Amino acid sequence: MSAADALHAAARPADGFGELRLGPAGVTWLARDADSGRWALWGWREAHGRARRLTPPSLDIASRVNGYGGGAQVPLGPWVVLVAATDQALLALEVGSGRLVPWWSRPGCAYGGLVADPGRQRVLAVEEQGEGRQGGQRLVALAPGRRRVLAEGADFYGAPALSPDGRRLAWVEWSLPHMPWQRARLCIAAFTPDGGVGTIRYWDPGAAVTQPTFAADGRLVCLSDHAGWWQPWSVDGAAARPLATAAADHASTPWQLGECQHLWHADGGVVMRLEAGAARLARVDAAGRQRAALLPDATRVIGVAGDARWVYALTQGPGHGARLARVRHDGGGMRVLATSGPRVEAPLAAEALAAPVGEDKAAQGEAVPAFVYGAGGGPRPLILRVHGGPTAACYPVHDPLIAWWVAQGYAVADINPRGSGSYGRAFRERLAGGWGRLDVADVEALADALVARGIADPARLCIRGQSAGGFTVLNALASSSRFAAGASLYGVTDAVRLAGQTHRFESGYLDWLIGDEAARRAVSPLQRAAVLHGAVLFAQGCRDRVVVPDQTLRMAAALRRAGRTAEVMLFAGEGHGIRHPAQRRRMIARELAFFARATPAPHHDDSRRETALALA
């Protein structure tokens, strides 16, 4: 493979599939186009026996609700209703003919979390009106020329679910300053004869509730972490009983709408369960006891759908990128229906590692989990990667970018600092009031552990993070001289200003993560520019509403005034994340060249890396 081809492969997103749905027209999902970066609708039907693209290349499908979207497509009879990314209008695609017609639009409104209400020939959705602090949300029912408000009054809505008979509706709602993984409540109501919502009943366990779904027999099941882990609970009025035997998370952190990672029937269900940071899919009985492992080669479950015979799942694993597979409930008859990229010829082994941390009494006995790639052959230059959120998580899956870095001679460590999802409520809430300190202690502990084990060269340590991970990168560079260079991708730099600049969804988040204004100032990288060690590369989308460009530009200017090296890449047309493949290739090549300059080898003879650097 040429250097240009390798770079092209590295820029391909690892999670190129999403939003799996099952309807009368077959299985549908969204896939990111490798050339344009747009999300397209794909479908698979038994009669056709192959996956096919259903929407034209010019159409980009994405919700903008909460800034992170989700739930932008849903089957409705022979149609699929879609959210157009550009103006958030709803379109209807007739699957058989390919005809695309307007369905609904309202100026200034974004839509997501779509759910079909086929008996009334309408779609249920979260509607967000306005931007910034003045915005608002409600739960609505939409049909051509008709709109019905079903619920309003809370700050945020999510996860609407319809009972099989179409008579009941469930959803979750929460209000500031909470995020949906901190405190939300389950709402249940019956429809009135005219399609409105009757008396609303609430189940509020005082924790985070997510992904309500109705079983085939009409039981309502949701995932709640009030017992310490996101586990399935069967809810009947004010009473609830657990449907899990394992003390493990059964959901990923709900940053997006429309996620589904569990299904239920009269005699049991299909659940995702996180074990040591890896997601496993299993068939369980009515008490939550495992009966069959499903798709054992998968270590991340993006979404599931199913019927009485088949389970359909979007997954990732060490040996495959994002793919759609079908399997029987007993685990047999597995068939891959679609893949997002070329076959993984030589999967990288992920070494699970837990680095002890102990910077204070509360941390005694704690360890920070990570997945390490490219270990072996003596100390190597290291790229330590910090995910965003900071309540998201990394998984031991095939990532083309990691494979590319390893091919250039680097060891790579994917870290799940305290606050990450996948490890229970206590691990996630450990970060409360400690962001900017505990996460920095975690990356330092991991770097030290990798050096001590002879995996990483202590003179050639690099750190990279996106969004909240960029905040960790900059604070790590300000806290010690361990890292020679860092890359902050659309990262937070000024926590004081961010509280007033970011979008409404996260406007109360910093109070929980850090504390009052004085605490935010103390851990803001902008205030620490003069003591920051190493060189910094910034990448920033010009249309970012979550971490606005001003954050990056002011930080880079402060570093330059302090005599530090600060390089900035601005990407026109990009928001919170660099999506377009050509833009990603430019960013990745520049980043590798930046790291190589900051960490030169004593006897550099790696021709592969030299070729890659030339691409920058």
Q: Which pLDDT band, with edges at 50, 70 and 90, does 608 fall under?
A: very low
Query: 347 CB contacts (<8 Å, ≥6 apart)?
Result: 318, 319, 398
Buried b (16+ CB within 10 A) or exposed e, 152-187: eebbbbbbbbbbeeeebbbbbbbebebbbbbbbbbb
What is the mean predicted confidence (pLDDT) over 191-211?
95
pLDDT tops 90 at residue 370: yes
Q: Write down the pLDDT at residue 364.
A: 56
Per-residue pLDDT band at 37 (split at 50, 70, 90): confident
Q: pLDDT by residue (tens digit) across 494-509?
A: 998 887 777 788 888 8
What are 531-588's pLDDT values in tens digits?
999 999 999 999 988 888 999 999 999 999 999 999 999 999 898 888 888 899 999 9
- Which helix H or strand E contains 481, and what residues bound it? none
Q: What is the pLDDT of residue 129?
A: 93
Query: Is the CA virtual torsion 502, 578, 179, 72 positive or negative?
Result: positive
By the 10 Å C-beta count (0-12 exposed, 13-18 middle, 19+ buried), 504 is classed as buried
Mean pLDDT, residues 435-460: 96
Residue 24 phi/psi, 5-degree rounding, is -60, -30
Architecture of domain 358-614: 3-Layer(aba) Sandwich (3.40)
**What does the block give as tokens for 330?**
């007993």
Phi, psi of 421 (to 5 degrees): -75, 180
**Cβ distance 132 to 121 under 8 Å?**
no
Per-residue pLDDT of 141-167, as tens digits, reads: 999 999 999 999 999 999 899 999 999
**b/e string for 356-377 if b means 16 or more Cβ within 10 A?**
ebeeeeebeebbbbbbbbbbee
Q: What is the pLDDT of residues 256-301, one digit of tens each?
A: 999 999 999 988 999 999 999 999 999 999 888 999 999 999 999 9
pLDDT of residue 223: 97
Mean pLDDT of the chain: 91
pLDDT band per the 50, 70, 90 thresholds, residue 132: low
Inform me whether the pLDDT recorded for 121 exceeds 90.
yes
